[in-house]
Structure 1
Amino acid sequence: MRSLLLRIVSFLLFLPLLAESRNPALNDDVLGLIVFKADLRDPDSKLVSWNEDDDDPCHWIGVKCDPKTNRVAELSLDGFSLSGKIGRGLLQLQSLRTLSLSKNNFSGSLSSDLLRLESLRNLDLSENKLSGPIPDDFFGQCRFIGAISLAKNAFSGVIPPNVGSCSTLAALDLSSNRLSGSLPAGLWSLNALRSLDLSDNALVGEIPVGITKIYNLRSISLRGNRLSGHLPDDIGDCLLLKSLDLGGNLLSGSLPESMQKLSTCTSLSLSSNSFTGEVPSWIGEMKSLETLDLSRNGFSGQLPSSLGDLQLLKELKLSSNHFMGSFPESLSSCKSLSVVDFNQNSLTGNLPSWVFALDLQQILISENKLHGSIEIPSSPASTLQVLDLSSNAFSGSIPESVGKLKSLEFLDLSGNRLNGSIPLEVGGAVSLKELRLEKNSLSGGIPTQIGNCSSLATLDLSQNNLTGPIPPSLANLTNLQVINLSRNRLTGNIPKQLPDLPHLLSFNISHNLLSGAIPSGSFFNTIPPSSLSDNPGLCGSAVHRSCPAFVPKPIVLNPNNSSPNPSSDSTFSPASLHHKKIILSISALIAIGAAAIIALGVITITILNFRVRASASQSAPALALSDDCLSQSPSTDASSGKLVMFAGGVPEFSAGAHAPLLSKDCELGRGGFGAVYKTVLRDGWPVAIKKLTVSSSVKSQEDFEREVKKLGKVRHPNLVTLEGYYWTPSLQLLIFEFVSGGSLYEHLHESHATNVLSWQERFDIILGTAKSLEHLHRLDIIHYNLKSTNILLDGSGEPKVGDYGLAKLLPVLDHYVLSSKLQSALGYMAPEFACRTVKITEKCDVYAFGMLVLEIMAGKRPVEYMEDDVVVLRDVVRGALEEGRVEECVDGRLCGKLPLEEAIPVIKLGLICTSQVPSNRPDIGEVANMLELIRCPQDSQEEELA
C-alpha cells in the first residue's frame, strides 16, 4: 500500500517529467488506471489483477489495448459492484475510445473533463448513483463522441442547451433520471443522431417543431414525462423513424396526417395520454408496424378495417378508450398477431372467430359489451397463455375444449352470464396459474380434476350456484395463494388437508352451507371470521361456536332375548324384570370401571402437575422482580438455572429470590417464538422479557448460549439491546431493554393512536430501520422476522428494531418450517421462504423491508382481508406506479404534508426491494445510501464535490 501511495504521489507531482521519459505511454496508462482504482471501493476484488508494478495494463481485467500502439483503447467494468468517485486518473488514457462503467455504484457529480479525451467515442455511465445537474459545459467538450448514456442515475436540473454542440453524437440516453424543464432546441441540431431516449424524467412543455431536422433519427422515446400539447404536424417527415414512444405524457389532440409517411416505423406507442378522435384509416399505410399501442387515451368511433393491412403486426393494444361497434373481420389477415388488448371499451357483437384461429398468446377483451357464446375450436392454438373475456355478457356454457389449452396460464371469464357446470376437462389446462369464473350462473360441483392444475395460484369461483363438497384434491395445488368459493351453495366439511397448503394467503368460503369443524394449523389459525361467515353448520374458535362433543351410543346386551319379534307385553314379564337387573348390573360395572379410570387419571395428572410445577420452580430464574408481575413460588437454589447479564454484576439480580411466573396482566404481546412481558426490577429498572415457547426446538445449551452471546454484543442506536438471558433445559428467557413508545404497527393502524406520524417521522423510521439492518448484515445476522410489530419507537420517536436473529436459536429448524413458525409475518415473507431448495439470505430481510416501506408510506397493512377478496399492498402500489398515479397510494392522513419528490422515490425504492427474484433486490447498505440521497441530494452533491 505504501508503494502504491508513493507511486501515485510521484505521478501527480512529476507529471511533466513523465512526458520526457523514453516510453511515456505505458506509464501514463498504468499509473492513470492505478490512480483511478485508488478512488474506488472494490468489494468483490474484481480489480485484483491491476498491479502498479506491471509495464502495461493490457492483460488487466476490463482493459483492452490497441494491438498496434499497446495503448488502452477500451475500459469496460460493467457490473463490477464498484463504488466511489470517477476519478481524474482516467484523463491520462489519451487513446481511450470506449469507457463503460455501467451497473455499478459510482456516486458524486458528473465531470465535464471526461469528454475532453479526444479519442473517446463511447461513454456509458448508466445504472449508477451519480447525481446533481449535468454541467453546463459538459456537452461543450465534445470532440468526436458517438454515444453517451447517463441512464438510470439521479441527475437533476435541465438538459444543458448546448447539447447541440455534439455534432457527431449518434445515440443519447438520459432516461430514468430526475431531469426537468423543457426540451432544449439544441436537440434538433444533432444531425447525426439516430437514437434519443429521454424517458422517465420530469420534462415539461411541448414537443417543438423542428424534429424533422434530425433526418437520421431512427428511435425516439419521451415516455413517462409531463409533455403536453399536440404532436408536431411534421413528425411524419422523419422518414427513417423505426420506433416512436411518447406514452405516459399529457399529449392531446388527434394524430397528424403526416404520420402515414412513417412506412418504416415498426413500433408506435402513444399510450396513457389524452389523444382524441377516431383512429384514421390511413393507419394501414404504416405497413411495417409490429407494435401499435394507443391504450389509455380518449379515442372513439369504430375500429378501422385498415388495421387488417398491418400484416406484420404482433401487438395491438387499444384498451381503455371509447371504441364502439364490432371487431373488423379484416384482422384475421394479421397472421403475425400475438397480443390483442381491447379491454375497457364499448365493443359489441359476438366474439370473432379469428380470435382463436390466429396463433395468439394473449387475448384481452374484458369490460366490453360482447354477447353470445364462447366458441373455442376443438383443436385450438397451443400458444395461448392469457384469455380474459371478463365483464361482458357472454352466455351459454364453458366449452370443454378449454382443457386443450395446454399453455394457458390465465383464464378469466368472470362477470358474464355463463351457465351449466364447470367442465371436467378444465384439469387439462395444466399450466393454469389463475382461474377466475366468479359472478356467473354456474351450477353443479367443483371438478376434482382442478387438482391437476399444479401451477394454480388463484382460484375464484365465487358468486355462482355451485353445489356439493369442496374437493380434497385442492390440497394437491401447493402453489395456491387465493381460494374464493364464497356465495355458492356448497355443502359438507372443509377438507382437513387444506391447512397443508404452504402459500395460502386467503381462503373465503363465506355464504355457503358448509358444516363441521374448521381445520386447525397454519393459515387456518389466523383466518378472518368474515371468510367463514354465513355457514351455520361450521364450528370452531374462528366462528366462536364450539363443536359438539362425540358421545357414543350405549350398548345394551340382552342374553335372554333370542326372539327377533318379542311380544308386546314381554316388558312386564318376570323374565324381562330379570333382564333389567342384568342391564343394571352391566351399567353399574361400566360406571364403576369408568370412575376408577377417571380417578386414576386425576391422581396421575395431579402427580405430574406437582412434578412439573416443582421442576418449573427449580428452573425459574432467580430474578428480583417487581411483585406486580409475579406469582410467588417457593425459594429455589440459584444453581438450578444459569443467569447471565451482559452488563456484568448487577445487584438487583439476587440468588434465592422468588421465581417469576410472569403474569398475563404484564404481557405486551405474542409472536412466533414466544410471549413478551414488561416487568420492573426492584431497583426501578424496566425490562422486557421474552419467554421462549420453542424449547423443544433448541438444539443444545452450548448452541443457544453461543448465539445469544453473539446477539448480546450487538449494539446500534436503532436496535433493541439484549441485556441478558436465563437458561434451563425447559425454560429460556431473553432480557431486553424496555422501549416505551409502543410499536410502529400501533402508530400506523390502531385507532387509539392519537398522533399521526408525520412525513419526517416516517422517513426517519425507514432510514433508521435500514441502518439497523445494514449493521446486522455486516455482522452476518439475518433478522428473518422484520415487521411493523417488531419495530418499537422510543420516547423521541427513534425506531428500534427487535426480535432480530432469534431464528438462529433454533438450529434444527429449516427455513420451510421456520416460515410456518412466522405466519404472523404474513405479507413480509419473501417468496423464497416457500421453496425448500432456495438458500435464505439477507435478501429476505430486504424484501420484508420493502414491504415495511410500502406499509409506512401507504398507512395500510401488507395484506388486507376484505369480505370477498384479499388485497396485497405490493400489487396495488405496483399497479398504481405503472398507471402513473402512485401518489394516490400515499397515506391520506399525510395529504398536503409531504414532499412528493421525496415520497415517490421512497415508494419506488420499496417496490425495488420487493422484487420477486432475490438477485434483483439491492443490498440493504445500498438502500440506506439511496435513502440518504433522497433526503438531502444537495448535501450529498456538495459532499462528493468536496
Structure 2
Amino acid sequence: MVLKVTAFIVLVSVVVNSQQPAFNDDVLGLIFFKAGLSDPNAKLQSWSSDDNDPCNWLGVKCDPTTYRVTELHLDGLALSGHVGRGLLRLQFLQILSLSKNNLTGTVNSELSHIGSLRVIDLRENCLSGSIPDEFFAQCGSLRSVSFARNNLTGQLPGSLSSCSKLVEANFSSNRISGRLPSGIWYLRSLQSFDISGNLLEGEMPDGMSNLYDLRLIDLRNNRFSGRIPGDIGNCSHLKSVDFSDNYFHGDLPDSMRRLGSCSSIGLRGNSLRGQVPDWIGELRSLESLDLSANNLSGGIPFSLGNLQLLRELNLSMNMFTGALPQSMANCYSLLAIDVSHNLLTGNVPSWISGNKLMGSLQVLDLSSNALYGEIPSDIGVLSSLVLFNMSRNRLFGSIPASIGGLKTSKVIDLSSNLLNGSIPSEIGGAVSLKKLKLQRNFLSGKIPVQIVNCSSLIVLNLSRNNLSGSIPPAISILSNLEYVDLSLNDLTGSLPKELANLSQLVFFNISHNHLCGELPLGGFFNTIPTSSVSGNPSLCGSVVNRSCPAVHNKPIVLNPNSRGSTGGPSPNHQRKKIVFSISALIAIGAAAFIVICVVAITVLNIHVRSSMSRAPVALTLSGGEDFSFSPNNDPNYGKLVMFSGDADFVGGTQALLNKDCELGRGGFGTVYRTILRDGLSVAIKKLTISSLVKSRDEFEREVKKLGKIRHHNLVALEGYYWTPSLQLLIYEFVSSGSLYKHLHEPDRSCLSWKQRFVVILGMAKGLAYLHRMNIIHYNLKSTNVLIDCSGEPKVGDFGLARLLPTLDHCVLSSKIQSALGYMAPEFACKTVKITTKSDVYGYGVLVLEVITGKKPVEYMEDDVVVLCDMIRGALEDRRVEECIDGRLRSNFPAEEAIPVIKLGLICASQVPSNRPDMEEVVNILELIQCPSEGHEELE
C-alpha cells in the first residue's frame, strides 16, 4: 500500500512538472516502472522525473531523432520487485533486457501490447507461475525471447508458434512441463531453441525438418521419450544438438549423417542401443561427441580417426568392446578422452604418447575396462594433462619416472591394477596434484619423501599395496590433506607427531600395518575411529585402549665382581658365560626350526596349488555348506561368472565366504568381503531366498541385466555364482560403509551439511537412473546405501526382487520387514500396483533421515515416534528448523535445508500420485542447491 501511494505521488509530481513541450511519455512510464522496484545499490539514481527525456539515464537508449526509448538494458543491477505496467508506455521499445536480477511475480501478459518489441530478455530472475498463452498473441516483431533460469511452471504456450519471425527462444532451467507444442516446428526462422532443464515429456512431434535454418537445439535434462526424430538430418545447418538425459531409445537415426556442419552432438544419459555407425566419421566438423551413459555396444568405429577437429570424446558408461582404434592417432585436436566403464580390451593404445595430440590433451580417462599392458614410459609428455585415470584395468609393470612431467595434473588415478615396483620419487614433479590414488596394486618400497612437493594434495590413497618403511614426517607439511589411506601395507616405525597439525583431515586410515608407538595427540587424532588404526598391535594411546610404556632413563649397571684388570674371573662370572652359551644355542635352534617350518609350508602350498589346478575344487563354506567350481560347466558343479575378466580369489575360491569377513545381513541374504588376487576387494552376497529363486536360465538372464547397470551412484554387480542350492552375487566393495553407520553409529564423525546434500542428490540420481532402466528397487533403506571414500552415495541391493518367480506381496513384505518405516503404504494393499513411486516414498524417508539424523521409527519408553509424522507436525507449528540434526550446530544453510525437508515430505506422501518422479526430484534439488556451494569430489 505504501509503495502504491509513493508511486502515485511521484506520478502526480511528474504531471505537475511536465509542462515543458519536450517532455515525452517514456519518462512517465519509466518513473512508474522504477516505483515498483527495489534498487539496493541506487543504480537508477540518475532517473529523474525532472528530465525532459530519459535518453541520458543509466541503461536507456533512445532514437536520436525522436528521443523515444528504443532499448532498456538493466542487467545485473540486483533489482527486485515486479515488471510493472509502466513499461507499456514505451511504445517504441525494441529491446527489453532485465536479466540477472531478482525480479519476482508472474510474467506480465500485457508486455505483448508493445508491438515494436524485438528482444525480451528476462533470464536469471525469480519469476514464477506459467507463461500466459496470450503473451505471444501479438509477437509479429519478436526475434528473441529468453526466460531461462527462473521458476516458471505450466506448459509451453501454444501461441509461441505464431511468432513467425522468432530467431532465438530460450526457456531453459525452469519447471515447465507437458508436451512440446507441435506448432513449434513451423517457426521457419528459428535458429536457436533451448528448453533444457525442464520437465517436458512425451515423444517429439513430427515436422522437425521444417526448421531449415536451425543452428542449435538443446532438449537435455527433460523427460522426452521415443526415438530421436528421424528427419533431424534435414536441419542441415545444425551446429549443436543436445538431447542428453532424457528417455530416448533406439538407434542413432541414419539421417544424422547429413549433419555435416554440426560441431557438437550430446546424447548422454538415454537408452540408445546398437552400434555407433561408421558414418560418424563423415561428420568432419565435429568438435564434441558425447554418447556416454547409454546401452551402445559393439566396437568403437575406426572412422572416428577422420574427425581431426574433434576436441572432446565421451563414450563412457556403455558396453563397447574390443580395442581402442589405432586411427584415433589422427585426432590431433583432442583435449578430452573418456571411454571409462566399458568392456574394452587389448593393449594400452600406443597413440596416447608420441604424437601430436599429446601437447594439448587435458583429460584421459580409460578407467574401468579390461585394458592390459604397461603405462607408456613417456607418459610425462602429456604436459597439459589435468586428469589422468587408468584405474580398474589390468595394467602391469612399474609406474614410469616420467610421471613427474605431469606438472598440470590435478588427478592421477592408477588404482586397482597389477602395478609393481616402487612409487617413483619423481612423483614430486606433479606439483599441481590434488588427488593421488594408487591403491589396490602391488607397489613396494618406501613412500617417497618428494611427495611433499605436491603442496595442493587433498586425497592420498596408497592402501592395499606392499609399501614398507616409515611414514615420512614431511607429509605433515601438506596442509590441504583431507583424505589419507595408507591401510593394508607393511609400514613400520612410529607416526610423526606433526600429523596432528593437519587441520583439514576428515579421514586418515593406517590400519593393518606394523606401526608402533604413541598416536599423535590433537586435531583429527583426538576422534580418529578405532577401525582406522586397528591391526597395528604396537600402537598405543587412548584410541586403541592401550597405554604407552613410561619412558625411563637407562640405568647404569656396575659389576660387583670386578677385581681390576689383573684379577681373574669369578666362579659366578664363569656360570653366566655358560648360561649365555646355552641361551644362544636355544635361540639358534629355534631359528633353525622356524626356517625348516617355512620351507615345509612353502613346499606344501606349491603341492596344494598344483593339485587345485588339476581338478575341480569343492568349496566348503563356514556355514557347513559345500559348493563346487568347475571350468567345464558340468551341471553337477557350480558356475562362477565375472562380467569383466576372471576372478582369482586370495586363498583360492574357498575364501569366498568367510564368517570372519561378514559385513552384514539383510532381507535377501548375508554379505561377506573377500579379496581378489589383484588386490581388489569385492562384496559377496549369499542369497537366502533359494527356494524362491527363478530357474537357472531365468536367474542368469536377470542377473546379467543387472550387471549392465552402471552409474556413479549405484553399486556395480561384478559377477555371480550359481548352483541349484546356492546363489552368490559378486559386487564392488564400497569402503566407507553404509549410510546407516555414518548417521547412527556414535564413533562416526558427524556428516556436514555439504556432505549430506551430496548424499541426498547422489541417491536421487542413482534411483532416477534405475527408474529410467525400468527397475524398481523395492528395498530402500539406509543400510542399503553405501558411502564411498569421496563421500558419494552408492545405492545397493537394487533389482533383487526380479530374481523372485513372482513379485508376491507377502514374499516382498517378509523380505523387507527390516525396512520398517521406509515401506510405502501401497505394500499393504494387494489391489494397488507397486510402481517406481513406491521407491520415491522410501527415498523421501531417507531424505528426512539424513537431515535429522533420526531413524524412520524410534521406540521411546512409552511412545513410538514416526519420523514423517514428527516432521509434518513441526512444519505445521513452524518449528521445522528444530528437526535438523543438532550435531550440525546450526551450521547449515536454511535456504537449502528447509526446501529439502519439504521435498522429502512430498516424496513420502501417502498417495502415490502426489509423489514426484525421481528425475523431477533431481531437477528440484539442483534448483535448491545454492550456486556458491561447490561440490569438488574426493573420488
- What TM-score bracket applies, with the shorter chain setting the length? 0.5 to 0.7
Show the 5 A alignment for 1:239-250. 239-250=236-247
Match among 316, 319, 323 for residue 322 of structure 1? 319
- Select which of 189, 192, 197 maps to 2:194: 197
Instruction: Report deviation, 1:418.
Output: 0.6
Q: Residue 212 of structure 2 aligns with which residue? A: 215
Aligned-pair CA distance for 1:29: 1.5
Please state if 1:788 is matched with 2:885.
Answer: yes
Taking the aligned partners of 1:299 and 1:907, their CA distance within structure 2 comes to 29
Q: State whether residues 263 and 286 of structure 1, in contact with CA within 8 Å, keep that contact through their aligned partners in structure 2.
A: yes
Partner of 1:68: 65
TM-score with structure 2 setting the length: 0.65
Structure 1 SS opposite 2:543: helix
Aligned partners of 1:113, 1:892: CA distance in 2, in Å?
38
Q: C-alpha separation between the residues in 2 aligned to 1:332 and 1:756?
A: 61
Partner residue, 1:442: 443
The answer to whether the Cα contact below 8 Å between 1:145 and 1:169 also exists between their aligned partners in 2 is yes
What's the offset of the Cα at 1:900? 5.9
Paired position in structure 2 for 1:78: 75
Map 1:271-670 → 2, pairs under 5 A: 271-356=268-353, 357=355, 358-359=357-358, 360-377=361-378, 380-555=381-556, 563=564, 567-569=568-570
Following the alignment from structure 1 to structure 2, what is the Cα–Cα distance between the partners of residues 914 and 765? 27
Q: How far off is 1:84 after superposition?
A: 1.4
The question of 1:262 aligning with 2:259 is answered yes
Residues 1:383 and 1:195: Cα distance change in structure 2 (over 3 Å): same
Asked if the contact 1:759/1:894 (under 8 Å) is kept, the reply is no
1:90 aligns with one of 82, 87, 92:
87
Any idea what SS the aligned residue of 1:474 has?
Answer: helix
Query: Which residue identity lines up with residue 352 of structure 2 in the other structure?
Result: V
* CA apart distance, 1:914: 6.0
Secondary structure of the 1:349 match is coil
Is 1:916 the counterpart of 2:913? The answer is no
* Partner SS for 1:475: helix
User: Which of residues 116, 138, 141 in structure 2 aligns to 1:144?
Assistant: 141
User: For the residues of structure 1 that align with 2:298 and 2:364, how far apart are their CA atoms?
Assistant: 21
Distance 1:767 1:790 in 2: 22
SS of residue paired to 2:206: coil
Distance 1:364 1:489, change over 3 A: same
Give the Cα–Cα distance (whole angstroms) in 2 for the partners of residues 123 and 913 of structure 1.
Answer: 25
Residue of 868, 871, 895 corresponding to 1:758: 868
Aligned partners of 1:481, 1:915: CA distance in 2, in Å? 18
List aligned pairs for 1:2-21, cutoff 5 A: 8=8, 11=11
Question: Secondary structure in 2 aligned to 1:186?
Answer: helix
CA positional deviation for 1:758:
1.6
Q: 2:169 is matched with which residue?
A: 172
Paired residues in the alignment total 657
Report what 1:940 is aligned to: none
Name the CA shift for 1:433/1:41 in 2 (closer, same or farther; >3 Å): same
TM-score normalised by length of structure 1 = 0.64
- Over 3 Å counting, the alpha-carbon distance change for 1:379 and 1:2 in structure 2 is closer
The equivalent residue for 2:250 is 253
Describe the superposition over 1:525-576 as per-residue Cα deviations: whole angstroms up to 9, x where unpaired: 111111111111111111111112223333356899683686444989xxxx
Following TM superposition, by how much is the alpha carbon of 1:64 offset from its aligned partner in structure 2, in angstroms?
A: 2.1
Matching of residues 735-750 of structure 1 within 5 Å = 747=854
Matched with 1:822 is none
Q: 1:367 is aligned with what amino acid?
A: S
> 1:850, 1:914 within 8 Å by CA — same for their partners in 2?
no
Q: Which amino acid aligns with 1:915?
A: E
Q: Retained in 1: the 8 A contact 2:211–2:235?
A: yes
The structure with the larger Rg is 1
Contact persistence 1:748–1:856 (CA under 8 A)? no
The structure-2 alpha-carbon separation of the partners of 1:327 and 1:216, relative to structure 1 and needing over 3 Å to count, comes to: same
Report the alpha carbon displacement of residue 166 of structure 1 after superposing the two structures with TM: 0.6
How far apart, CA to CA, are the structure 2 residues paired with 1:97 and 1:396?
67
2:877 & 2:481 partners in 1: Cα distance?
35
* Cα separation, 1, equivalents of 2:563 and 2:397: 63
Q: CA RMSD in A?
A: 3.7
Tell me how far 1:756 sits from its aligned partner.
3.6
Residue 85 (structure 1) shift: 1.1
Report the 3-state secondary structure (helix = DSSP H, G, I; strand = E; otherwise coil) of the residue aligned with 1:241.
Answer: coil
1:566 to 1:150, Cα distance in 2 relative to 1, 3 A: farther
Displacement of 1:907 in angstroms is 3.2
Matched residue SS, 2:256:
helix
Kept after mapping to 2: 8 A contact 1:81/1:105: yes
**Residue 749 of structure 1, CA deviation:** 9.0
Structure 1 position 241, deviation (Å): 0.6
- Tell me: CA distance 1:363–1:539, structure 2 relative to 1, closer, same or farther (3 Å): same
For 1:100, the equivalent position in structure 2 comes to: 97
Write the letter of the residue equivalent to 1:165. S
Q: Tell me the CA shift for residue 355 of structure 1.
A: 1.4
Letter in 1 for 2:933: S
1:610 aligned partner: none
Extract unaligned runs of 5+ from structure 2.
574-748, 751-848
**Within the alignment, does 1:47 sit opposite 2:44 as a pair?**
yes
**219 and 384 in structure 1: CA distance in 2 versus 1, 3 angstrom threshold:** same
- SS of the aligned residue for 1:129 comes to coil
Q: For residue 411 of structure 2, what is the amino acid of its counterpart?
A: F
Cα drift, residue 377 of structure 1: 1.3
Letter of the structure 2 residue corresponding to residue 497 of structure 1: E
Deviation string 1:737-763 (CA, Å, 9 cap, x unpaired) is: xxxxx9985635996674242288279
| Partner amino acid, structure 1, of 2:885 | S
For 2:26 and 2:381, how far apart are their aligned partners in 1?
63
Mapped to 2, the partners of 1:224 and 1:246 lie a distance apart of: 8
Q: In the aligned structure 2, how far is the partner of 1:151 from the partner of 1:423?
A: 50
Point out the more displaced range, 756-765 or 459-468: 756-765
Please give the alpha-carbon distance, in whole angstroms, between the structure 2 residues aligned to 1:291 and 1:490.
46
| C-alpha separation in 1, matches of 2:156 and 2:2 | 43
Q: Would you say the 8 A contact 2:24–2:68 is kept in 1?
A: no
Q: What secondary structure does 1:215 align onto?
A: coil
Q: Within 5 Å, which residues of 2 pair with 1:704-719?
A: none
Percent same amino acid among aligned pairs? 47
Q: How far off its partner does 1:180 sit?
A: 1.0
Question: Equivalent residue for 2:113?
Answer: 116
Q: 8 Å contact 1:113–1:141 — kept in the other structure?
A: no
1:156 to 124, 145, 153: 153
Residue 285 of structure 2 aligns with an amino acid whose one-letter code is: S
d(CA) in 1 for partners of 2:897, 2:436 = 27
How many Å separate the matches in 2 of 1:281 and 1:767?
63
Structure 2 counterparts to residues 682-831 of structure 1, below 5 A: 747=854, 754-758=864-868, 761=871, 788-789=885-886
Shift in Å at residue 127 of structure 1? 1.0
Q: C-alpha separation between the residues in 1 aligned to 2:876 and 2:485?
A: 35
Kindly state the Cα deviation for residue 317 of structure 1 after the two structures are TM-superposed. Answer: 0.7
Separation (CA, whole Å) in 2 of partners of 1:91 and 1:160: 22
Residue aligned with 2:45, SS? coil
Q: Distance in 2 between matches of 1:367 and 1:98?
A: 52
8 Å CA contact 2:461–2:485 kept in 1: the answer is yes
Q: Does 1:233 align with 2:230?
A: yes
Aligned to 2:925: 907
- Cα distance, 1:510 vs structure 2: 1.0
SS of 1:403's partner is helix
Give the deviation of 1:854 after TM superposition. Answer: 6.7
